[in-house]
Amino acid sequence: MGGGDSALEAALACADERGTTVTLSYRSEAFSRVKQQNRERVQRAEGSRRLKVLLSSNVEEIGDDAVVLDQGGKKLKLKNDAVIVCAGGILPTPFLKEIGVQVDTKYGTA
């Protein structure tokens, strides 16, 4: 989830792993604040079916083995093994906790 350069780069890195299926969910209609190079890499990954991009989509639920998205009023349930949240400078901690995601804050530790 996410639509900045970090989100695109994370999705692309995962998509480069053999045997993975990667879906990138982004709430807006287009990526507006990404480098042109990342935009082109995403387009190539989509073209080769290594990456699926769902624009205008919002995460409603993250479960143990599935994610529920809303895309234009249509509910999509996607099987998943892992979720990476790239939410920018301010993490939506209350939302993540509300949907059952454990958040561990580590100040200054890697």
CA distance 48 to 39: 14
Residue 33 in domain? yes
Note whether residue 39 is domain-resident: yes
Question: Is 108 domain-assigned?
Answer: no
Bridge partners of residue 67, in order along the sequence: 62, 78
Q: Which residues contact 103 (CB under 8 A, 6 or more apart)?
A: 91, 93, 96, 97
Two tokens, residue 71: 């895309």
Residue 105 in any domain: the answer is: no
Q: Per the structure, how many domains does the chain have?
A: 1
Q: Does 41 reside within a domain? A: yes
Over residues 44-62, the pLDDT tens digits come to 999 999 999 999 999 999 9
Q: Does residue 14 lie in a domain region?
A: yes
Full residue range of the structural domain in which residue 48 is found: 5-98
Task: Give a yes or no: residue 106 inside a domain.
Answer: no
Q: State the pLDDT at residue 88.
A: 65
CATH number at residue 88: 3.50.50.60
DSSP string covering the chain: ---SHHHHHHHHHHHTSTT--EEEE-SSSS--SS-HHHHHHHHHHHHTTSEEEE-SEEEEEE-SSEEEEEETTEEEEEE-S-------SS--HHHHHHTT------TT--
Is it the case that residue 41 has pLDDT exceeding 60? yes
pLDDT tens digits for 58-97? 999 999 999 999 999 999 999 999 888 886 666 778 888 8
